[in-house]
Structure 1
Amino acid sequence: MGTACAGRPEGVLVPQAQTVSGASKVDVLVATTRRPSGTPGILFSGERDKGTHVTEISVSIPPDTMRKAGQVQWPAKLPADPAKEFATLSVTPLSPPAAHGWLKQNLPKSRRVLVFVHGFNNRYEDAVYRFAQIVHDAGGDVAPVLFTWPSRGSIFAYNYDRESTNYSRDALEDMLQRLAKDPAVGEVTLMAHSMGSWLTVEALRQMAIRDGRVAPKIQNVILASPDMDVDVFGRQFASLGPRHPHFTLFVSRDDRALNLSRRISGNVDRLGQVDPTVEPYRSEFEKAGIVVLDLTALKTGDRLNHGKFAESPEVVKLIGNRLIAGQTVSDSDVGLGDRIGAVALGAAQTVGGAATVAVSTPIAVFDPATRRNYGGQVQRFGTAVGNTVTTAAGQ
């Protein structure tokens, strides 16, 4: 879910020249299927456009001594105070050749690209500032590319947003194909949040069906709080074939936003809300070689518990230091004590009552019939939003 806009000034993407010593600058390449708004500082609306627009945006981030990592410091008024608030420094529309030039200029020595796909209820500026925050706080050695699809930025537009992800599948696949075919690019990591996870996996599925496999340069996929039907994800994952990217999931059983999504989507478990320690999920994740990090015990300032991956300084740094580079994560690597559960390489070890799995074995299809056979061993969620009740056998 996106950040609430109450009290936020409109037009934060109007560039300003003012900066301060110690502030950091993050340059982001932004591709979007949104319709141009015509309003300065808004740039793109939540409506759909037939083409894809590409823009370079530079964001100033306050000195680390003046901000809390994991948070976007939105301006209280405009122009922003770069000493303590995020500020837009430049906005430059780019043609396809110019976008290629930007990529060559901004690729680090690792030649690694990080593509981020946002979730439900995000305006254009929400996605830009959040991704700039993630890039800065993660400290990953990457060229940052944002793909933003037409979200109306309203909690009442869930179905519109979901259809907008479907609308944007071809555009995201095309962008990924271009990155994969660029000889300057060494590898691509895809990171998606919430409803953007559906769009991401669908684009990869299309690519696999079209080309016989996902492009080899797309090596890592990180899905944070994925708002996806687990049955559908199983079919999508199987369609990727045996030569698929490495997948990492961030899940949280107390995710209230996904609790609501589950209620309005037929009461089928959402992928970002499952308990990876119970069967059949544990075995299925092991067979699929999917790493699952359970953030249930981690507490942040997010009252919906839906954005922990971005709001926890430790998790963001974990993304930058290890996951983007495709490194396996174990309980000792996480370094968060009992706030994150981790089990490495299938070892029967549990930290804080939760577990993660990292095993490279053949693909498994998430079969609804198999899951039903486990009866009470599958996690069940309470239906009251804001009063999530979690029960699982043996816990």
Structure 2
Amino acid sequence: MRLSRWFCAVLVVALLAGCAGRPEGVLIPTTERAAGTSRVDVLVATTRRPSEEPGILFSGERGKEPQVTEIAVSIPPDSKREVGQVQWPKKLPPNPEKEFATVSVTPLETAGATAWLKRTLPKSRRVLVFVHGFNNRYEDAVYRFAQIVHDSKADAAPVLFTWPSRGSVFAYNYDKESTNYSRDALEALLRRLAREPAVGEVTIMAHSMGSWLTVEALRQMAIRDGRVAPKIQNVILASPDLDVDVFSRQLAEIGPKRPSFTLFVSRDDRALSLSRRISGNVDRLGQVDPMAEPYRTEFEKAGIVVLDLTALKGNDQLNHGKFAESPEVVRLLGNRLIAGQTVTDSHVGFGERLGAVAFGAAQSVGSAASVAVSTPIAVFDPTTRRNYRDQVDRFGNSLGGTVVTAVGQ
């Protein structure tokens, strides 16, 4: 009885946090313009079935063949919006001065997609592929990715892969099967990008259930080709809705020549709490405590960097979208992660404080444990922590005694 009430409460919150009040057909291009707006051009590949409704473009049902579309989105001036938020139109046509608006929609064949890629690639020659999560309509994925690209100032050509989600909290199993349906298509897209001579490197960012789809596609590629394509260098999994045991097997099957993995986790993620309950009560990867065993050791062995966002507060009542809504996280995405750089404690204002604790020879267990961390983002970086421990051990040995360290506690 108590469990049923808990399920209902989570579902009600999800529904209230959803798309109530939004107009349909927001992907109808508008001729309205406003000064100071920004434009984001996105290449959208999808396994969804085309929709006959104007401005919907693709439904939540499964299509027979993948299709590609170029969509340009107008984003309001920075002075009129909050970083991390999608300003959905209240009515159509939208007001570009205050709301997101669709500027153009262009269906593309293979040659057109290649031309778009060559035209859009920055000097870094980097491509950013985004794979959305559960309960996303086509337009949800397009506007959310446009927001991420704009707010992060990502130095990359933005490519969205959107799979058949019915956009309903009651369609969890359908959506999960749709990710399985889309594995081959995502693998093929990633392989084409990696084989394109103009592309220098590929970063993949996946959210929620899209993490399952992404890791499965990489696993398939590794099995077929003997390894993941070398140009695929970084994988970012945000709130991954992945069984921890399954993820461990996937990594093993991908093999040692794999991309660098970065995880965003949050122990207060209510959506993943629901997923855990309906998936055999096995921990979800996006909700683990990276400092608790056995996860700490496993992440360290695998060389996986984990950013714990539990202390961050956002506008998402389910605490499931912090990676895109938090200005601090969006800046990290653009400044380092999308660019393929490792994030360590120092990049979120944590390193100097941690160093003071780690190397303070006079620290006791009580004082070390009581040090307050000012930043809401905690980083588990295996390489940095190993280096800290090595330096602490050497420092302690030189004093002929034991040095208390906060690293890994």
TM-score, normalization by structure 2: 0.84
Counterparts of 1:131-280 in structure 2, within 5 Å, are 131-280=145-294
2:30 aligns with 16
Q: Which amino acid aligns with 2:69?
A: T
Tell me the C-alpha RMSD between the 2 structures: 2.3
Q: Could you say what secondary structure the match of 2:49 adopts?
A: strand
8 Å CA contact 2:345, 2:381 repeated in 1: no
2:43 aligns with 29
Which stretches in structure 1 are left out of the alignment for 5+ residues? 362-393
Compare CA radii of gyration and give the structure with the larger one.
2
Give 1:232 deviation, angstroms. 0.1
Q: Which amino acid aligns with 1:356?
A: V
Counterparts of 1:119-134 in structure 2, within 5 Å, are 119-134=133-148
1:356 aligns with 379
Q: Distance in 1 between matches of 2:340 and 2:105?
A: 32
The match for 1:95 among 103, 109, 114 is 109
8 Å CA contact 1:197, 1:228 repeated in 2: yes
Give 1:354 deviation, angstroms. 7.8
Q: Could you say what secondary structure the match of 1:327 adopts?
A: coil
1:380 aligns with none
Give 1:342 deviation, angstroms. 8.8
Point out the structure with the larger helix share. 2
Q: Distance in 2 between matches of 1:157 and 1:176?
A: 27
User: Identical aligned pairs, as a percentage?
Assistant: 76
1:366 aligns with none
Give 1:359 deviation, angstroms. 2.9
8 Å CA contact 1:75, 1:87 repeated in 2: yes
**Are positions 1:326 and 2:340 aligned together?**
yes
Q: Distance in 1 between matches of 2:348 and 2:70?
A: 33
1:81 aligns with 95
2:322 aligns with 308
Q: Note the alpha carbon deviations across 1:356-385, whole angstroms, 9 max, x for none.
A: 322359xxxxxxxxxxxxxxxxxxxxxxxx
8 Å CA contact 1:276, 1:354 repeated in 2: no
Q: Which amino acid aligns with 2:129?
A: V
Q: Which amino acid aligns with 1:359?
A: P
Q: Distance in 2 between matches of 1:75 and 1:194?
A: 25
2:393 aligns with none
8 Å CA contact 1:253, 1:274 repeated in 2: yes
Q: Distance in 1 between matches of 2:157 and 2:43?
A: 8
Give 1:117 deviation, angstroms. 0.1
Q: Against the structure 1 CA distance between its residues 29 and 342, is the aligned structure 2 distance closer, same or farther, given a 3 Å change threshold?
A: farther
Q: Distance in 2 between matches of 1:244 and 1:103?
A: 24
1:284 aligns with 298
Q: Note the alpha carbon deviations across 1:103-129, whole angstroms, 9 max, x for none.
A: 000000000000000000000000000
Q: Against the structure 1 CA distance between its residues 342 and 169, is the aligned structure 2 distance closer, same or farther, given a 3 Å change threshold?
A: farther
Give 1:29 deviation, angstroms. 0.1
1:55 aligns with 69
Q: Which amino acid aligns with 2:46?
A: T
Q: Distance in 1 between matches of 2:166 and 2:296?
A: 36
Q: Note the alpha carbon deviations across 1:32-89, whole angstroms, 9 max, x for none.
A: 0000011110000000011001000000000000000000000000000000000000
Q: Distance in 2 between matches of 1:38 and 1:53?
A: 15
Q: How many residues align?
A: 358
8 Å CA contact 1:9, 1:78 repeated in 2: yes
